[in-house]
Amino acid sequence: MQNDPLVSVTNVEVLGPKTRNRDFLKCVGDLIGSRLGKTKRNKETDFGNKAYAYFACKCVANNDFVSLQELLKVVDIDTSDYNGQTPIHRACEMGNIGMMKYLITKGCSYNLADVQGNTPMTLAIMNNDVIMVRTLQMLGGAVYLESVRIGMELCKATQARDYRKLQAWFFAGVDMDQGDYNGRTAMHTAVRNRDAMTVSRLLEYGATPLEEDTWGWTALAEAKKHHLTDILMLFHPLFTEKFTTKHLYQLYKSGMDDALE
């Protein structure tokens, strides 16, 4: 994956001239001038730092490399704005992979969480940007959301048949069998909806029908109860005969991983 051109961060192209709002440029100029005029003895306030970070994020939103370069001369690249977002948060939120790569080459941190607990990886997932997710995962990016929240998001994406988002979660390295507040997983949701296509995709992304919900039901058991032949065919024979419990399947997978090593 390190040689994959889709996730390379070494070849960053900065776009050409861009028309900029004069009022915005004046504000940026005033901020830079103010910052440069400060002495080392005059410590910056938290309010001031957040203001600088806010304008840096605005530069990202405007795809304005030139103004951002000037701001980064006087403000830490990891300084966060009022919502706890840094410039790379904004780049990932907007799906601007060129800006994201540029910020990474400048040494930004890519595992900081904003006030809602979202890391750049989380925002890239929410934006369905698989290439961006793969890039961050290669660099060690992570998701810091609570497990239950991840389970809820997986079930939500399954309900919407949002395969791109499910793939993004998979590439982020999360447990695709993570359940919601009731222990219901994405696979439970797909089986309940009698959605064989989504079941197939979930199996491809590493999910299983073996996780028990709060009431002790697995997705496999529900498929059997309702005689969902097309879905049971997808589960057979790996989960219907060979591994009928999650524990047995985990032992099997662990053995496969050891063999690969």
Which residue matches tokens 């440029």?
Answer: 25
Residues of the chain with CATH 1.25.40.20: 22-139, 147-260
Helical residues (DSSP H) of 160-245, grouped into ranges? 163-171, 186-192, 196-204, 219-225, 229-235
Instruction: Measure the CA–CA gap between 166 and 157, rounded to whole angstroms.
Output: 6
- The torsion defined by the Cα of 239, 242, 244 and 247, in degrees rounded to 10, comes to -110
- pTM over 0.85, yes/no: no
Q: What pLDDT shows up at residue 145? A: 94
Task: Select from 1.10.10.10, 1.10.3720.10, 3.90.550.10, 1.25.40.20 the CATH code of 22-139.
Answer: 1.25.40.20
Q: Return averaged pLDDT per consecutive 10 residues of the chain, 261 residues in all.
A: 50 50 58 50 56 88 91 88 93 94 94 95 96 95 95 98 97 96 98 98 96 96 97 96 89 69 47
**C-beta separation of 128 from 168 below 8 A:** yes
Domain 147-260 matching CATH 3.40.50.150: the answer reads no
